[in-house]
């Protein structure tokens, strides 16, 4: 019999990736909110307002300002009710970024809270390791 905790972790990972893919790569933040976010949405990014409407407004504007923006998932980690995505974000006309997004999920597998940190991918490095 499958472990219910492992099944929930896999569901949350799948939902985090699908949410990010829909809102960032496919530029459909309203549909992403509708499909993958719970009753509340708590935002910790200081550049985005709290709540669903502020998120939709921000990413609708980003889709217009940065057509062709794209995220590539490098690592997906899940524990308890959290999923962490380690991503390469590419913003045409701007820098590329290494990003860490942390999502908290409710018991239904819906996103209810988000944190992120971004770091510019430099052209040169003091070591031979990549950021990914």
**Rounded mean pLDDT of 19-39?**
97
Q: Which domain holds residue 23?
A: 4-120
In a domain, 99, yes or no: yes
In a domain, 110, yes or no: yes
In a domain, 30, yes or no: yes
Question: Residue 1 pLDDT more than 80?
Answer: no
Looking up residue 81, the CATH number of its domain turns out to be 3.10.450.50
Question: Residue 23 pLDDT more than 90?
Answer: yes
Q: Which residues contact 124 (CB under 8 A, 6 or more apart)?
A: none
In a domain, 127, yes or no: no
Q: Which residue has the tokens 């896999």?
A: 10
**Rounded mean pLDDT of 82-91?**
98
pLDDT of residue 2: 78
Tally of domains in the chain? 1
Provide the pLDDT confidence category of residue 97 given band limits of 50, 70 and 90.
Answer: very high
In a domain, 131, yes or no: no
Q: Residues 39-72: pLDDT tens digits?
A: 999 999 999 999 999 999 999 999 999 999 999 9
């Amino acid at each position: 019999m499958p472990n219910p905790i492992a099944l929930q972790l896999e569901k949350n990972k799948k939902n985090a990736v699908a949410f990010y893919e829909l809102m960032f790569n496919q530029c459909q933040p309203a549909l992403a909110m509708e499909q993958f976010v719970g009753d509340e949405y708590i935002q910790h990014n200081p550049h985005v307002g709290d709540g669903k409407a502020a998120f939709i407004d921000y990413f609708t504007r980003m889709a217009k300002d940065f057509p062709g923006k794209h995220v590539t998932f490098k690592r997906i980690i899940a524990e308890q009710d959290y999923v962490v995505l380690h991503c390469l974000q590419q913003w045409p006309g701007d820098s590329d970024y290494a990003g860490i997004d942390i999502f908290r999920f409710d018991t239904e597998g819906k996103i209810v809270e988000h944190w992120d940190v971004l770091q510019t991918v430099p052209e040169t490095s003091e070591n031979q390791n990549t950021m990914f």
